[in-house]
Structure formats: C-alpha cells, structure tokens
Structure 1
Amino acid sequence: MKSLIYGYGKTGKSFARFLESKKQKFDIFDDNLPKYSKKIDFKKYDQILCSPGVPKNIFEKIRNINKNVLTDLDIFFQEDNSIKIGITGTNRKSTTAFHLYQLFEKFDPANLIGNIGNPMLDCINTKKYSIIELSSFQLDKMTINRLDFGILLNVETDHLDYHGNFESYKLAKERILDAKKSISYEDNPYDLFEWITGQKSSEINLKNLPYRFQHISKKIINDSKSTNYHALSYAVKRANEIYLNDGYVLIVCGSPKKEEFRKIDIKGPDQIYIFGKHAEEIDKCINNKNKKVFKELYDVANHLNKHNQENVLFSPGYPSGDDFSNFEERGVAFNKIFGRLNEN
C-alpha cells in the first residue's frame, strides 16, 4: 500500500510517523513547501491522508478523484480502542476540554488530543479515555462518527470563509451529535464528567488555559483567543461587570475577512483602540464613536501609559491575519508589552 500525505504541517507530520510505524510507503504534497509541491497524480495512491485545514473545495476535488481520502480522525477511529469523548463548539471548546481532562486526571487519566494537546495519531491506545477537541473542519471531513460521547457546546456564526454559509457550518458542527451518546449546550465540566462516567467528581481548583480572559494583573486582561464576534461579545460582557463604573479600554486587531466584514456594535468600553495591518478594515466594521487607530501594539501601550489608562481588555475579536502567526503568538506579544507597562 502506498499513501499520499496532503498537507505537511503538524497533522501531516503525525501521518508520516504513523505510516513509518506501520512500515508503509508514502509521498508528501504541500503547496506551501517547494520540496513537496510537485504535480501529483491522485489516482495512483491507495489512500490520501488529508490534513483538516485543507480548504473544503480542494478536499472535495481530491475526493472526486480518489474515493479513499481519510483524515487523522478517521484513522484514529480505526486504530484506537479508547473511550472517545468529542467536544466542539464555536467558543469554549478548548477550555471545556481542558477542564474535563483535569477531572479525569483524578479518576482515570485521559489523553487530551485533537485541536488541543498532542496529535491524535501519536496517542493511539495509550489511555482508557480520549478527550478530543474537534473543529468544524475536522467534523466536516470526518467519514463516519465513531465517538462514544459527543458534546456540542454552542453554535454561532464562524468560519464562513471555509463553509460558505452558516447553515453549512452548523451542519458540520452538528455531526458530532451522531456519536453513540450526545449532549448539546452543556459546558459545566462537572456535569459532563458525571454524564460520561456516571459518577460525581469532587470539586477541584481547575486551571485555565492562557489567553482566555487571562488576568495578567488586576487591571489588565489578555483574551487573545477571541477570534470571532461572539467571543468578543462574551469578553465585553464580562469586562463590563468586572470594571463596572471604573471604565476600561478595549483593544482589538486581526483580519475581519473571516467574519465577512460584518458591522458590529460594541457597548461598554470607554475607548476602543484598533491596531495592526487590518486596522482600517476593522475601523469600518465597528460602530462606536470612541475609537482610535494605531499602527502597532507598542503605540497603543505608549498611549495608554501617557494618558494613565489602566483598565485594559485585549479581546481582538478576529483571527490574527497578517499581524501574528496565531492567537498564541499574539497573546505572548501582548503579555510581553503590557507586562512591562504593568511593572511601570
């Protein structure tokens, strides 16, 4: 058998390790890597292993040529014997998965895999339970749902650049409900733990992931994981309660393309500061009189310092675009700059 790995990022490399462990031959194709971008005849391969981030139209084109197109999730279903718990949602899927993982650590240790943690194919048959964070891309490409438990946290407009419309996105998310057992709109980790195991978990001090409404000081919040309007709205609502009558500044950035440049109203912050390469595009999207555009994050920090503005919510509301590689890099940059500001 000979396979083709389509896309050679984190998932693609896990495909390679898996195939090597099986002593199976394979080729690699990745448009973004000159070494692996030579023209390919898809028909000559027994199977094509596709990374979840491959655009929908390209994935469907490949599948029309070669019917045996699989994702890492498909292979994990075939090879792994653990009890599989899938979690998806527009927001809070990483936090819910991480909190549930901590509860299982006190019960029967689980793997935390998928969009969070280690690649699935590196964790085959290593733990009794697998907690799998699943994106709409993964669910859309999934061949058959073989989850034991499927959890749908919420569905709001997102990833329209991939799915084309909200209905298509919603249908992809709802594929998780084809699991053996499923539940919707429940994100309390203790309730989910009891639903899965039939046992109550003792209350513990759950740790949070970084850049999810992270307080880097009493007055400064880093919510870099906010990559859509609904995450931004949630953060603003919480900030309005926290800062109450003290007032605060909201900092946003990123590319509004994924949100289709939708017009949004933001109520609560005293000022909205916009920075980065997409600042002018964002400025046109936000309906608020008290906004100001900056070139760099450093410029925002200097302006805040100069005007003694201490209460800050960094909740970008958009994917990183051309400003940063991802929300993690963005979160690190914010902590680095505003950590110094806090020290001063």
Structure 2
Amino acid sequence: MIPIRHLAGKEVALFGLGGSGLATARALEAGGARVDVWDDSTERVAAAEEQGLAIIDLREADMSRYEALIVAPGVPLTHPQPHWVVVRAQEAGVSVIGDIELFVNEREATCPEAAFVAITGTNGKSTTTALISHLLSECGMDVQMGGNIGRPVLDLESLSEDSVYVIEVSSYQIDLAPSLAPDIGVLLNLSPDHLDRHGDMDHYASIKERVVKAARLAVVGVDDEMSAAIAQRLMDRDQAVECISCQNAVETGVYAQNGHVYEVFEGEGVEVVDLSSSNSLRGSHNGQNAAAAIAVCGALGLELEEISGALLSFPGLAHRMKPVAQAGNVLFVNDSKATNAEAAAHALAAFDRIYWIAGGRAKAGGISSLQSYFPKVVRAYLIGEAAEEFEQQLGGAVGAQKFGSLEAAVEAAARDAGQDACEEAVVLLSPGCASFDQFQNFEIRGDAFESAAIAAAQVLKDEGTR
C-alpha cells in the first residue's frame, strides 16, 4: 500500500466503505492518521468494525475537528444534490476529497520523482490505461496500474522514483482531486455521460479538463468539438500538447487511419504500427487508444521500435472486445462490458460477419441507434429481458432467435458460424444491455460467455477433425 504520511497525527473522517474506502482507511492509518469511518450501509459498517476500524456515526460527529473528509467516488458533491455528509463537512469548513487527492498530495510531499500518468475520457480510458501499462512493462519498466481500473490507487506499491504510476481516473474521482497535476495527463474524448451527477455537459467537460490542465504534457483527443477546444486552449497558453486522432492527420502528435498509426515528426507522419493483425486492438476507437499510448510511452523515453512490438502483444482488456477462443475461421469475442448501444457500436464496427449475441436489461433506446451496422450481422441471438424488444428493433433486417440462456445462444451461434465459409466469422457477445436480469455484473456474464465459447470452439475443432 501507499501509506499517507502527510496526514500523520491528524484526525480524518472517511465515508464510503467499499473496496477503495477500506484501502484508503488502511493507508491513512499506516501513515499515522487517526481515522473515523462511516457508511450509509449498516452491513459495510459492521464489516469495517470487524476489521478493527474506528466506527463513528458522522451524522452526529463534530466535523470541525477533522483535517479532511475523504469520500468514495460515488458520493455526490453537487448533483442531483450534495450528500448529507458533504453538507455537514462544508458547513464545518472541512475540505472534501477522495483517494486520488491523497495520492497526489503524498507523491508531492514524499516522492515527486515518481512518474505519474493520469488517463480519462468518456470512452476508452480502461483500455488505454491497460495498454500504456502493458507497453511500459514489456519494455522493462516497473508499472503500478490502478485507480478506476483494478486496484484502488492507495493499494498500489509504495511510492518509488523507479516506478511509473499509471492511473485511470473517472469524472467522479477528478471531482474529488483539486490538486491533480500529473506528469502526463490524457483526455481521450468527451460525450454526454454522468450528467445526473455533473448537471450539464459543460460542467462535466470542465471536470475532465482538470486531468490535462495542470499536466506537464497533455495528450488530448481532438475528434470531438469539446476535447478539441480544450486542446486549443492549452496550446494557446503554450502548454505542451500532443494531439491524438482516429479520424484525421494532426499537426503535432499521433493519429490513426485505416488500422495504421502514425507519429508526426517535422510535419510528416511516420508509421509506428499496423494494427490490422491485432485481434485485441481492432476498430477505429482502438486506433485512438493506441495513439494515446504511443504518445505517452514516447514521452516516457521508449523507442518507436519497442512500442510497435509491444503493441502487437497486447492481450486486450477482459470483457472489452477480447478474443477468447478460435476454431478455424470462427473467432469468439467477449465484449460483455458493452452495456449500452454506443459501446456495442465499437464492436459491430470492428468486424464484418457477425453472429451477434445481444440482450439483457435494456437501456433507453435499446439498439435502434445501431441500424447502420445491421448489414454486418449474419444472425442475432437474443437473451434476457430485452430479447422481445430487440427482435422488434431488428425489424426483419437481421434474422433473430430468442434463447433462455447465454450458453444456449453461444452453442447456436457457434454452430451457425461453423458453417460459414468466409475468411472470418465472429461469434460476438456485445449485449448492448446491463446484465442484472440474469447476472450479478458484466464480469460474471463475460466469464460465462468465455466458458461457453471455449467449449463451443472445442466442439468445432473436434467436428473438423472427423
């Protein structure tokens, strides 16, 4: 863990006892702070008490005695209304921050030489974070990856000038980190998201902008208007900026076109890598992710030849367009993280002959926005509560069949794909739905798909050898 020593001897309140909250409490205590914890969940309070944490009902505590209130990212600061614990802290003049702010302040106080990369964006931030970490690790660097992906930031190894801390940050976490100033800040893109929490798009964008606003180097996607405007503002004040794009060439930075990624040197694009042979980085959106990773790793001293080789060995992120099995020309791809239509669009755009497994608990609008991709779908295999709705939205443009279980859908899709004579047939789980009707979360749904896919692939292999 990363002990928070800059608060040694101070009294701190902590609200929110999920995974990151517990890690934060342990890090504060390890650094010498006295920590009082609370949660709206009685079950979480009881579990924390069993672990020996000091339980104080913050509804009744004297908030003025605390140096700070640390809250979980899900605790609202402004919209739809401030959480009661935030109101109590603000009335007492106590700062309200999160674990990312603690990390930032501890690094500044004890180990400012530790390299720090912060990544955000509406889409693609987890893949980009994992890709940057993979490239650095493959090239021999000690990488600590965490934040909004995997391990809580304060659960990473102790700060060291020999390590690179690659941290994914959500808008919720940024909102609680007023001192955020990474060595390299990455803003991939902006589109409407979490507006119930942030009020409107302008406020949401202003929060995301903080990741690059105080960074020594800002890596900014310029394929949407709001992000492009942010990049321009930074350049107007002579901040170091690398632009990235998956649509057009850029004057400075890295861009992707038709599966090829180029870095600009002296006004000319020099090819870094051809991603067409990478199953895990298909699609134009992954061109943007790769462009961001190239810009970051180049700034950290890696050579283009090192970066190129490591890119092609990236295994992909679990449940995000990840190839999980193959039998002959049939590829099985787990995109369980695609819990809405916009996310599913990336996977549908990346393949040409798709045996599409979709459904679950539908989001507003269902899959009606995906009509332009229907010609790429050979057949649809529909599951869950949304099966009837999705069949109607397909409207006969795609042949569809409803199934009572994911496993049955995988078996049928594999059987049909196995009879396809094309160069590549893709059995794709990209549900466009939440998982909660049949699975506890998208990870469990994805694991179930992987197990069924491996079994179905083996059946195809066995049939091919007879």
TM-score range relative to shorter protein: 0.7 to 0.9
Give TM-score, length-normalised by structure 1: 0.84
Q: Percent identity?
A: 27
Alpha carbons 1:42, 1:66 under 8 Å: kept:
no
How far off its partner does 1:233 sit? 1.0
Match of 1:296 in 2: 405
Range moving further from structure 2, 268-277 or 131-140:
268-277
Which of 311, 315, 322 pairs up with 1:214? 322
Match of 1:264 in 2: 369
User: In 2, Cα distance between the equivalents of 1:100 and 1:19?
Assistant: 29
When residues 35 and 150 of structure 1 are mapped into structure 2, their CA distance, relative to the original with a 3 A threshold, is closer
Which of 50, 53, 65 pairs up with 2:88? 65
User: In 2, Cα distance between the equivalents of 1:278 and 1:145?
Assistant: 41
Which of 58, 75, 84 pairs up with 2:102? 75
Task: Look up the SS of the partner of 1:53 in the other structure.
Answer: coil
Match of 2:456 in 1: 341
What 5-or-longer segments of structure 2 have no aligned partner?
A: 1-9, 47-55, 222-243, 245-288, 419-425, 460-466
Match of 2:72 in 1: 51
How far off its partner does 1:71 sit? 0.3
Alpha carbons 1:193, 1:201 under 8 Å: kept:
no
Q: How many positions carry a matched residue from both structures?
A: 335
Alpha carbons 1:14, 1:121 under 8 Å: kept:
yes
1:181-228 superposed Cα distances (whole Å, 9 cap, x missing partner): 312113322233113448546232332223222222243211122233
Which of 20, 27, 38 pairs up with 1:18? 27
When residues 288 and 137 of structure 1 are mapped into structure 2, their CA distance, relative to the original with a 3 A threshold, is farther
2:125 aligned with 1:93: yes
How far off its partner does 1:297 sit? 1.0
1:14-48 superposed Cα distances (whole Å, 9 cap, x missing partner): 11211220233323322334352895327624122
How far off its partner does 1:132 sit? 0.8
User: In 2, Cα distance between the equivalents of 1:11 and 1:214?
Assistant: 26
When residues 191 and 22 of structure 1 are mapped into structure 2, their CA distance, relative to the original with a 3 A threshold, is closer
How far off its partner does 1:288 sit? 4.2
Alignment of 1:155-234 (within 5 A): 155-180=190-215, 181-185=217-221, 186=244, 187=289, 188=291, 189-197=293-301, 200=304, 202=306, 203-205=308-310, 206-208=313-315, 209-215=317-323, 216-217=325-326, 218-234=330-346
User: In 1, Cα distance between the equivalents of 2:365 and 2:212?
Assistant: 28
2:447 aligned with 1:332: yes
1:237-291 superposed Cα distances (whole Å, 9 cap, x missing partner): 1112xx3xxxx3211234444x57684233221333332245456667x454334
What 5-or-longer segments of structure 1 have no aligned partner?
A: none
Alpha carbons 1:274, 1:293 under 8 Å: kept:
yes
The amino acid that maps onto 1:273 is Y
When residues 214 and 199 of structure 1 are mapped into structure 2, their CA distance, relative to the original with a 3 A threshold, is closer
1:299-319 superposed Cα distances (whole Å, 9 cap, x missing partner): 3235436x6344411112234
The amino acid that maps onto 1:225 is K
User: In 2, Cα distance between the equivalents of 1:97 and 1:342?
Assistant: 30
Pair member with larger Rg = 2
When residues 260 and 176 of structure 1 are mapped into structure 2, their CA distance, relative to the original with a 3 A threshold, is farther
Root mean square deviation, CA, Å: 2.9
Give TM-score, length-normalised by structure 2: 0.64
